[in-house]
Amino acid sequence: DARVTQTPRHKVTEMGQEVTMRCQPILGHNTVFWYRQTMMQGLELLAYFRNRAPLDDSGMPKDRFSAEMPDATLATLKIQPSEPRDSAVYFCASGTGGSGNTIYFGEGSWLTVV
Amino acid sequence: GQQVMQIPQYQHVQEGEDFTTYCNSSTTLSNIQWYKQRPGGHPVFLIQLVKSGEVKKQKRLTFQFGEAKKNSSLHITATQTTDVGTYFCAGPERTDKLIFGTGTRLQVFP
């Protein structure tokens, strides 16, 4: 059963520490999305890749966040340095692309920054 | 950029009552998708609508795409406790960049 895999599932870290979240998209999918979910902001798009190329990261705080796809099987989202306001659930999703792009979410990385 | 709003933000209903959530986009959409997120879970795809005025049904769920392709609705008939969760609509900005609505959280009391 194909699924998007995210690690870690849960992370508690101290303010100022670096956090790296990883995502393995579904094999054959060429679009990858990073969303952040908080109670206040709903599902906020942070970054979006197609064929490993970053197409849009306008929703991402550039000073501390970075997103990359080193290869087709791995997407990473890094926060350095982390702050308490970064506490949220970070979802990765992948899809086959195109205007009818249906995306499949991973189970999320629950991040708490203390 | 494109904005997608949903109302209401929250809805509490008694089991057996009907429920409707409305989705409005600031731009015309090529398609609209609906997702459901159970408490503590991740969003799961429900359905996609493509044609102007399209109506699709999944058991007790009825999905509609507006004539102008800027709004959509999800109606649940005779809610059950298994319907609890947050319902999101989503539309593509430009090609395949998917923008999610603000979501409607449904609580069903037995």
> From the CB of residue A51, how many other CB atoms can be counted at a distance below 10 Å?
11
| B6 backbone dihedrals φ, ψ, rounded to 5° | -130, 145
Strand boundaries in chain A, DSSP class E: 5-7, 10-13, 19-24, 31-38, 42-50, 53-56, 65-71, 74-79, 88-95, 103-105, 109-113
Residue A40 has pLDDT above 70, yes or no: no
| pLDDT at residue A61, as a whole number | 87
Over residues A48-73, mean pLDDT: 92
Residue A39 has pLDDT above 90, yes or no: no
Using an 8 Å CB-CB cutoff, list residues of chain A that contact chain B. 31, 33, 35, 42-43, 45, 48, 50, 55-56, 58, 91, 93, 95, 97-108
| pLDDT at residue A41, as a whole number | 63
pLDDT digits (tens, 9 = 90+) for A2-20: 899 999 999 999 999 999 9
Residue of A nearest to B2 (CA): A45
pLDDT digits (tens, 9 = 90+) for B28-41: 999 999 999 999 99
State the number of CA atoms in the 13 A half-sphere of B81 facing the CB.
Answer: 2
CB contact under 8 A, A103 and B95: no
**For B31, which of A42, A100, A104 is closest by C-beta distance?**
A100
Tokens 């609890």 belong to residue: B84
Please answer whether residues A32 and A93 qualify as being in contact, where contact means their C-beta atoms are separated by less than 8 angstroms. Answer: yes
Retrieve residue A95's tokens.
């899809």
Chain A positions in Cβ-Cβ contact with residue B10 (cut-off 8 Å): none
Query: How far is Cα B6 from Cα B87, in angstroms, rounded to an integer?
Result: 9
Over residues A26-30, mean pLDDT: 94
How much is the mean pLDDT over chain A?
Answer: 93
CB contact under 8 A, B45 and A104: yes
Please answer whether residues B95 and A31 qualify as being in contact, where contact means their C-beta atoms are separated by less than 8 angstroms. Answer: no
Strand boundaries in chain B, DSSP class E: 4-7, 10-14, 19-25, 32-37, 44-49, 55-58, 61-65, 71-76, 85-93, 97-100, 104-109
pLDDT digits (tens, 9 = 90+) for A63-111: 999 999 999 999 999 999 999 999 999 999 999 887 677 899 999 999 9
Residue B1 has pLDDT above 90, yes or no: no
